[in-house]
Chain A
Amino acid sequence: MRLLPGRAGKFESAVGTLYLFHLVLIVAVLLVIQSLFDLARFGAESGQQTGGFLPVGEAETYDTDNLYEKIDGKAPMYQDAGFESLATQRFAHTVNAELGFEHYTFDMGNSRNAFSVYSRQKRADVIDLNELQFGYQTTNGVYFSYGKYYVEMVGFAESQEIIDAMKILAKKLLAELPYDEKDEIEDITLFPPGTIAGSWQLQLKDAFAFDGLSDTYSAKFNADGKTVTIFFSKRNNSDDARAVAKNYTDFLVANGAKVIDPNVLDFYGGTEIVFAAGYFIAGVHEADDRDSAIKAAAVLFEHLNKISEKTGG
């Protein structure tokens, strides 16, 4: 065996070459992983312009342990809804430093969870995005739910230029994010005619502060020109639905509601209606006008009963 100085032997050369080869291989693997992860996944390839905006810095990722470092007090809402991970990326205008936006992609595990956090945070007076079933824009942001993802893009100014860039990025995301037919939110089709499209909400648990009311859809309903909130929750069978309806009614009464009729309650001047319709528990929540609430409840009851009968409930 030769040591320094002098020329390396064949064995040393072979070992050295092997080490170098491994180093090159590691670098290559790292580069491939980097190119596949985060930035490309979220439509923000480094250095690539999006409508005049460039990504600033690295994308950040958060999991259940450190989500609070990004959104603090809102973290429990996402975590309770099945949150798995968040990726964020800031963008800045290539010329005007005052213009920028930040993009958040929440992986919520499944489409119902994503739809739930989307619907619960949906803003009023928005412009719906036609290319999406669940998406809208405000004067400074674009928001949508797509498959298991909930996406927010928050503009740092009210600017059409920012909105345009966000829409370009949204299109890239729609092309990249995986989507499956099983991701469809079919239950919103169970609302009766007269329901205001886009007003749907899904509360996965503890709807209306009652811990026995899970997987509850609600929406605005137009009852002869007056808007009331209707809701339903699909249960395993009609017995279960009746039991939950009774428990929810008891909960309201325990909190100060007065029974006007077996299904109609006065709750500090507002009206609550609760009933079972086949395997649904359903009703009207916090209505200002009792007559409108009763009309809406009648439509909802008949509609859900028919569905329940048709589907063997």
Chain B
Amino acid sequence: MADQNQTNFGRRQLLARGVKAAASIAAAGSIAYWLYDRNGPNGDVETRANLQQLPDLAVPRKNGQTLSIVQGSDRTKTVNKAIDLLGGIERFISPGDVVVIKPNVAFASPAFLGATAHPDVVAAVIRLCYDRGRAKKVIVTDNPINDPASCFAISGIGKAATLAGADVVMPKDNLFSNITLDGGVLIKDYPVFTAPLEDANKLIGIGPVKDHHRSAASMSMKNWYGLLGGRRNIFHQDINTIIAELSMLVKPTFVLLDGTTTMMTNGPTGGSVSDLKKTNTMIASADMVAADAFGCSLLNRKPADLPYLALAEKAGAGTADYESLKPLRAEVT
């Protein structure tokens, strides 16, 4: 009898404790769900991406002021001069603009190795946008190949952008939206890093001149690869088409192509100073096909060596015959 009582008491006790435990688990789960931050610790942009197409952020063309080529080793000086030759930052940035800068931050690599854009160039452009363009806000963003935080930190671009007053936006899943490019073969219902561009009036691309194992060169147009999400390596099989499609998808205000040092070999990652050559050239252009066509010469290549230039030209993204634009040239010391 005593044993029977003991057993009944144990079952009741067990059930009661079980109910209490379940209630505790449910409460803890609810609190965790309520407190969970889907944007993570770096979220500057709270909106969810919902663009269906990228906006056309180009400014009207001015004959004779489309492409500038400036010789010099001081990036801040060459950036300023190159943009001044095109009419000054005021031609491109208006007071109150929201400007998105998309540097190439693909790799967790220090800037001196030339695998990424240089922080001095990024900082110089941010300062121009704020000081002379009177922009309301400047956003610096990219969807790097390597871990984004490491890329922005090791390249020095995160620090440079922050010090110059820009907001740095790291990629997160909810900042991408699926886009289909009209006339595109590869960009079909494909995730693109659109959220930073939701409220943007202007878009500036900044990239280094690099050798690239797959596409022969990585310059202004290849830089937009950093707006793609998903398993974008699938596009390596058709690299020329994807670069040409990016030139159709993205219509920037202007691009800066940094050939102060050029990665001549072992691109796109490089890794050794021996891969680099001092070419002391900064290119600013409202025509990125022309910029890249000129950039070939820094790599000792011809535009014909880069099939994507002809494809982009055919698609109407610009001209590979950069001399026809009568590039403005200068040298700064």
Q: How far is the CA of A156 from the CA of B116 in the complex (A)?
A: 13
A158 engages B10 (CB within 8 Å): no
Binding-face segment, A43-51, A136-144, A170-178, A279-287? A136-144
B145 engages A68 (CB within 8 Å): yes
CB-defined contacts of B30 to chain A, threshold 8 Å: none
A140/B272 contact (C-beta < 8 A), A3-B7, A73-B212 known: yes
A70 engages B146 (CB within 8 Å): yes
Binding-face segment, A118-126, A194-202, A217-225? A118-126
Closest to B218 in A: A73
Binding-face segment, A74-82, A226-234, A245-253? A74-82
Convert B170-210 into 0s and 1s, putting 1 for each residue whose CB lies closer than 8 angstroms to a CB of A.
00000000000000000000000000000000000000000
Convert B112-129 into 0s and 1s, putting 1 for each residue whose CB lies closer than 8 angstroms to a CB of A.
110000000000000000
Q: Does chain A have a CB within 8 A of B309?
A: no
Q: Does chain A have a CB within 8 A of B275?
A: yes
Q: Does chain B have a CB within 8 A of A69?
A: yes
CB-defined contacts of B107 to chain A, threshold 8 Å: 72
Tell me the minimal C-beta distance from A21 to chain B in angstroms.
Answer: 26
A157 engages B269 (CB within 8 Å): no
Q: How far is the CA of A75 from the CA of B106 in the complex (A)?
A: 14
B10 engages A4 (CB within 8 Å): yes
Tell me the minimal C-beta distance from B332 to chain A in angstroms.
Answer: 26
A138 engages B272 (CB within 8 Å): yes
CB-defined contacts of B265 to chain A, threshold 8 Å: 121, 123
A76/B7 contact (C-beta < 8 A), A3-B14, A156-B110 known: no
A123/B236 contact (C-beta < 8 A), A3-B14, A72-B268 known: no
Q: Which of B222-247 contact A (CB under 8 A)?
A: 233, 236, 239
A73 engages B215 (CB within 8 Å): yes
B145 engages A69 (CB within 8 Å): yes
Q: Does chain B have a CB within 8 A of A272?
A: no
Q: Which of B252-297 contact A (CB under 8 A)?
A: 265-269, 271-275
A75/B113 contact (C-beta < 8 A), A3-B7, A152-B271 known: no
Q: Does chain B have a CB within 8 A of A9?
A: no
A73 engages B10 (CB within 8 Å): no
Q: Does chain B have a CB within 8 A of A5?
A: yes
Q: How far is the CA of A152 from the CA of B271 in the complex (A)?
A: 9
Q: Which of A173-219 contact B (CB under 8 A)?
A: none
A123 engages B275 (CB within 8 Å): yes
Q: How far is the CA of A24 from the CA of B154 in the complex (A)?
A: 40
Q: Does chain A have a CB within 8 A of B333?
A: no
Which of A69, A73, A126 interacts with B274 by CB under 8 Å? A126
Q: Does chain B have a CB within 8 A of A244?
A: no
CB-defined contacts of A138 to chain B, threshold 8 Å: 272-274
Q: How far is the CA of A69 from the CA of B232 in the complex (A)?
A: 10
Q: Which of A55-78 contact B (CB under 8 A)?
A: 68-77
A72/B233 contact (C-beta < 8 A), A3-B11, A123-B265 known: yes
A158 engages B146 (CB within 8 Å): no
Closest to A153 in B: B271
B236 engages A75 (CB within 8 Å): yes
CB-defined contacts of A157 to chain B, threshold 8 Å: 110, 112
Q: How far is the CA of A71 from the CA of B214 in the complex (A)?
A: 12
Q: Does chain B have a CB within 8 A of A154?
A: yes
Which of A74, A143, A152 interacts with B213 by CB under 8 Å? A74
Q: How far is the CA of A274 from the CA of B268 in the complex (A)?
A: 33
Q: Does chain A have a CB within 8 A of B4?
A: no
Tell me the minimal C-beta distance from B159 to chain A in angstroms.
Answer: 12
Q: Does chain B have a CB within 8 A of A312?
A: no
Q: How far is the CA of A312 from the CA of B11 in the complex (A)?
A: 89
Closest to B146 in A: A70
Which of B239, B268, B274 interacts with A123 by CB under 8 Å? B274
Q: Which of A110-151 contact B (CB under 8 A)?
A: 121, 123-126, 138-141, 143
Q: Does chain B have a CB within 8 A of A6?
A: yes
CB-defined contacts of A102 to chain B, threshold 8 Å: 108
B110 engages A73 (CB within 8 Å): no
A73 engages B236 (CB within 8 Å): yes
Q: How far is the CA of A154 from the CA of B265 in the complex (A)?
A: 15
Closest to B274 in A: A123
Q: Does chain A have a CB within 8 A of B6?
A: yes
Q: How far is the CA of A217 from the CA of B157 in the complex (A)?
A: 42
Which of A2, A70, A123 interacts with B272 by CB under 8 Å? A123
Tell me the minimal C-beta distance from B118 to chain A in angstroms.
Answer: 15
User: What are 6 A-B contacts with C-beta separation under 8 Å?
Assistant: A69-B145, A70-B145, A72-B107, A74-B266, A140-B273, A141-B271
Q: Using A139-B273, A154-B272 as known contacts, list a sample of 17 further A-B pairs with CB atoms less than 8 Å apart, ordered by residue number in A.
A: A3-B14, A5-B10, A68-B236, A69-B146, A71-B145, A72-B269, A73-B218, A73-B239, A73-B268, A75-B233, A76-B236, A77-B213, A123-B274, A125-B274, A126-B274, A143-B272, A157-B110
Q: Report the 6 A-B pairs with minimum CB-CB distance, sorted nearest first.
A: A3-B10, A123-B274, A68-B233, A154-B271, A72-B145, A138-B272
